[in-house]
Amino acid sequence: MASFFTHPLPAVVILLGVLVFFHEFGHFVVGRLSGIAVEIFSIGFGPRLFGFTYRGTDYRLSGIPLGGYVKFAGAHPAEDVPEGLPGIAFRDASLPRRALTILAGPLANFLLAVIVYSVLGMDGISHPPPSIGEVIEGSAAEAAGIKPGDRIAQIGETPVVTWRDIESTISQAPGKRLDVVVERDGKRVPLVLTPAEIKTQDGAGRAVTIGRAGIALGRLPAMFAVIEDGALRRAGVATGERVVGLKVGAETSVTIASMTELLHKLTAAAKTEDAVTLTIEAAHPPRDDDESLSGSGEKKAKPVPVTREVGLSLKTLKTLPEPFSKKATLAALGVADAQLTVGNATDGAKASLSPGDVLLAWNGRPLRDLYALREELIANTEPKAKLDIARGLERQAVEIDLKPVEVQKPEGKATIYQLTVLFWGQPEEPPPIIEKYDGLVAAVGYGLRETKAQTKELFRNVMSLISGDIPLKALGGPMLIAKVAGDSAKRGWQKFLEALALISVNLGLLNLFPIPVLDGGQLLLMGAEGLKRKPLREAAVENFQKVGFAMILALVVLATYNDLSRFWKAMLESVVGLFQ
């Protein structure tokens, strides 16, 4: 049953049903309070499925669940209020009451967004903490002296609470000096960071220049790829095994959480000791936690850890120069970290890559980490790639077939090529922090701030769409909403509510644009009526509405075309799957 409600079709029906109910209920309540007669309150369009009549108003559920409407009696000059229906004709209400009735629909959508965000605030919003997992070699962060394990406490005069605070501040400051305070070993350390300038595209397809520090949230596990006949290989450590504990001399063993932590402890121990004892966890093939490699969609139980202890000679580390270098320390041990070590390969990659292979270069360009590989994949437009790899103690060059996947980008449909590999040493993110607002006032304050921020961003996107900075191919319709609804429902009720609030803001704001047929278009007509101090000519109103209908129809056709070009195959498979 749960899988039924996470399917795109039921999910979008529920989502649109709630949105439309609030929008039309806003019109309905203010209209009723203004004394205007209401003939029909409908969720959905088309034929009436069922409903009831109360005080002369027909409350109904209609057959097409992609909208809804409130029919006020006497909205058209040729209509009269049906006998027995309480209230006056819409046209006979005062101009302020009519305007408030129309405005109430979009305002109800903004109110819904505030309510939803407030509920999420009271429940608690999960955020990644502002802790540095890795610092990319040669990055602005490394030049600034930021180290793995640091917790960024302040940028400029602004306190940092979550990882999102770091991202938003740094991305908006390309090439600018930032005074940063980090917490390290219980002390506050002031640093100066100048983010690199990166030219890219934002999520809407606009060309932008952003700042990039070169930091990552996830920490690399202390997992190795053995590529040389070095100290770790002679100690009996194999590729894919992980160090989970370290004992120096007669001291108690300490838990090891990351690669950086382990290497620092080993280099420190090498100054006084010749050997240490490592607690090694047996290798387990990496998994996709969302879906098994077999494609069954069922999560696998995590294997029970099996550990053993081994002695490791530190002689090769005693001559390492200062300051600490992760690259030099790994080389001295005869290993690489396992972030680019193949654990499982599927599709075209399976023919050329085997578990334990380490990726060294992509089309002749060295790969230092997963982030460099990601940049190569983003820039790649070819179905094949040449890789330099380490296979055991040997170096080889192989050619691999990449998997073509069609995606929808803002500029239109495109084909990207995926490397179908799961790597051993994938970064692990720390436990999230929970942003929670206790009390109604604090929660509503959060709801108002989030609604304001989403409204501002949406308005900016609409203006960019009108100006051409965002291509019209980025416009989406019901299928895109259905995908968003289904995807968010699969991720839990909080994500579904986030999508509901965001789309509610969309509906409220777009309805306020002065386009005929929409609420904003009706408000524009009422404004003209107020300026003339008399009703507008019926023919002028009808022509205005005809233009609006044509505009809306054109937008619907364009959005539907874009949706079909994106999702027709996936939607067809989805509909078939609903009945299997």
The count of C-alpha atoms lying within 13 angstroms of the C-alpha of 447, restricted to the half-sphere facing its C-beta, is 24
Check if the beta carbon of residue 341 is closer than 8 Å to that of residue 304: no
What lies within 8 Å, CB to CB, of 248 at 6+ separation is 265, 269, 273, 276
The DSSP bridge partners found for residue 224 are: 337
Residue carrying the six token digits 């179905």: 383
**Cα distances (Å, whole numbers) of residue 283 to 244, 309, 343, 459:** 12, 14, 10, 51
CA–CA distance, 94 with 103 (Å, rounded to integer) = 14
Q: What would you measure as the largest C-alpha separation in the chain, in angstroms?
A: 100
> Which pairs from 177-180 meet CB under 8 Å and 24+ separation?
179/155, 180/144, 180/146, 180/152, 180/154, 180/155
Query: Does the annotation mark 450 as catalytic?
Result: no
CA 8, CA 12: separation in Å to the nearest integer? 6
Cα–Cα distances (Å) from 420 to 64, 239, 342, 344, 379, in that order, read 41, 20, 10, 9, 17
What is the rounded CA–CA span in Å between residue 167 and residue 433?
Answer: 16
Measured CA to CA, the distance from residue 366 to residue 375 in angstroms comes to 12
Surface-to-core class of residue 492, CB atoms within 10 Å of its CB (0-12 exposed, 13-18 middle, 19+ buried): exposed
* Neighbouring C-alpha atoms within 13 Å toward the C-beta of 202: 17
How many helices and strands (H and E) does the chain possess? 14, 26
Distance CA 37, CA 159 (A): 54
| CA 468 to the chain's CA centroid | 24
Which residues sit opposite 159 in a β-bridge?
154
What length is written for the chain? 580
Beta-ladder partners of 138? none
DSSP designation for 56: T
Sequence-distant (≥ 6) Cβ neighbours of residue 557 within 8 angstroms: none
Other C-beta atoms closer than 10 Å to the C-beta of 46 total 12
Contact 224, 235 (CB under 8 A): no
Among 355, 357, 219, 335, smallest CA distance to 285 is for: 355
Name the H helices within 124-280: 140-144, 163-171, 231-234, 259-269
SS3 content of the chain, % helix, strand, coil (to 5): 40, 25, 30
Q: Which residue has the tokens 């005062």?
A: 94
* Candidates 24, 39, 134, 241; catalytic one: 24
CA–CA separation, 133 vs 56, rounded Å?
Answer: 64
Eight-class DSSP state of 572: H
Q: Which residues are catalytic?
A: 24
